[in-house]
Amino acid sequence: MTTLALISAFPPAKASLNEYGLHLVNAFARRTDITRIIVLADQDDSVAKELELDPKIEVRRIWKFNSPFAGLAILRELKDIQPEHALYNLQTASFGDNEVPAALGLLTPMLSQRLVPSGVIMHNLIDAVDLSKTNLAGNKIRQKIVSTAGTIINKCLLKTGFVSVTLDSFLDIFHSKYRAKNAYIVPHGSFANESKTDIPLINERSDTIVTMGKFGTYKKLERMISAVQRLNSTLYKTAPIKLVIGGSNHPATPGYMETLQAEHAIDSNIVFHGYVAEEDVAGFFKQGKLAVFDYDSTTGSSGVLHQAATYGTPSIYPLMGDFIDVTEREGLQGFHYIPLDEDNLMSTIDKALSLSEKAQDMADNNLSISSGVPMDTIASVQMSLLKGLAGQKYFKLRQSGKKALWLKPKDSIFYAS
């Protein structure tokens, strides 16, 4: 009997990566070499019912966001369950948007390695974030503290059995800065679960733009709303563009969405959809002729960008940071604009809406790439990595002369293509 513990945010809770956790656990459930999966999930204050899942899957909601004791709850549960493998699905703010609980939670994989062979999927890294463009802008002391803490946390994460990342640039950081040999790249993967024939062509869709995320920090909406309103008052007077905004406040900016919604209540072409439930994601993206991502900076491989690709919606995004990675290394295509430039964003939206054939070519390309790496493939690679930890003899821990952490297994890198 093979039991896997997956530690992740999980729907109907709405924390980041909950959808990824759902699709990943469903892919694991389809495997014949796993007979039991226990999801150690975040607690949810909503009244939504738990999802109907495969009989193999059990969800235990045992830790709270922003609790300094989340890690202890997870470790106690792992000791009770005694699974053969444990896999963490994480980003830097998985356990909290306050520095202390966030950092303490990220120490859990290192500690659980003493109980069960453990691996980590890390969706972003502090090292890859321009902290001056986050909610820490203007506070250089806190930026320095967070940067230093991020380095310490990454070294601790690398004391887990393995860390897999979704972007080549993250792997470069682990190799160059930390000299790690147990870091691997495993692509984000696609959530696609419907055929291409169910996806409408670009010229069959109305002039609707969609965007989705947790807004208020480095993901803001003011420029995008202004760009759409300016286009509607000039070039699109007779047939206005509709902007549909899905998502919620970033935990660090409570009230952000509510304030914007009140400011634009009289504009019927600016629609605040709110949280997009898993069963509504496909319809949300398929209504859009374009998906727009207006970020001040990037913090990791955008799951929303991959969802747009999955449902044949071409994207507009600034050519910077992690967006360069998905363009140049994953092969996803999109329309690009100058970061932080509202005029250029406006002209790019106009251009993209007028080039339906080019947009369709991009959509077809992205659909092809997305379907090439389904979540079943991601689960297979992650399971191979976990099985490599059997007996905890796979890695030999040592410190270099410069105190940078090395973990030396086989010199292989997993990449599903």
Domains of the chain, by residue range, sit at 3-189+375-408, 196-372
Torsion of CA 171, 173, 179, 180, to 10 degrees: -40
Least Cα distance to 337 among 315, 305, 313 occurs for 315
User: Going by CATH, does the domain composed of 3-189+375-408 fall within 3.30.160.20?
Assistant: no
Q: What is the pLDDT along the chain (417 residues), one digit of tens a residue?
A: 589 999 999 988 777 888 889 999 999 999 999 999 999 999 877 756 788 899 999 999 999 999 999 999 999 999 999 999 999 999 888 898 888 898 999 999 999 998 999 999 998 887 766 555 555 556 667 667 777 878 888 999 999 999 998 877 788 888 888 888 889 888 877 776 555 667 888 988 989 999 988 888 778 899 999 999 999 999 998 999 999 999 888 777 889 999 999 999 999 999 999 888 777 888 888 899 999 988 877 655 566 777 888 888 998 988 776 677 666 566 778 898 888 899 999 999 999 999 989 999 998 888 887 776 788 889 999 998 998 886 544 344 333 333 333 333 333 344 433
What per-residue confidence (pLDDT) applies to 409? 38
When the candidates are 3.40.1130.10, 3.40.50.970, 3.40.50.2000, 3.50.50.100, the CATH number that belongs to 196-372 is 3.40.50.2000
Least Cα distance to 417 among 384, 371, 386 occurs for 371
Q: pTM (2 decimals)?
A: 0.75
Cα–Cα distance measured from residue 372 to residue 289, given in angstroms and rounded to the nearest whole number: 23
Q: Evaluate whether 375 touches 26 at the Cβ level (below 8 Å).
A: yes
Cα–Cα distance measured from residue 332 to residue 369, given in angstroms and rounded to the nearest whole number: 7
- Determine if the peptide bond prior to 12 is cis (ω within 30°): yes
What per-residue confidence (pLDDT) applies to 222? 93
Q: φ and ψ at 363, to 5 degrees? A: -60, -45
Least Cα distance to 11 among 116, 93, 89, 120 occurs for 89
What per-residue confidence (pLDDT) applies to 393? 42
What per-residue confidence (pLDDT) applies to 15? 78
Cα–Cα distance measured from residue 317 to residue 334, given in angstroms and rounded to the nearest whole number: 7
Q: Where are the beta strands (DSSP E) in 35-98?
A: 36-42, 57-63, 85-90
Cα–Cα distance measured from residue 381 to residue 301, given in angstroms and rounded to the nearest whole number: 18
What per-residue confidence (pLDDT) applies to 220? 87
Least Cα distance to 14 among 6, 22, 4 occurs for 22
What per-residue confidence (pLDDT) applies to 412? 38
DSSP category for residue 280: G
Fold: same for 3-189+375-408 and 196-372: yes
Torsion of CA 28, 32, 34, 37, to 10 degrees: 50
Q: Evaluate whether 322 touches 300 at the Cβ level (below 8 Å).
A: yes
Token pair, residue 212, equals 């989705």
Q: Distance between alpha carbon 407 and the CA centroid of its chain, in Å?
A: 26
Q: What type of residue sits at position 132?
A: S
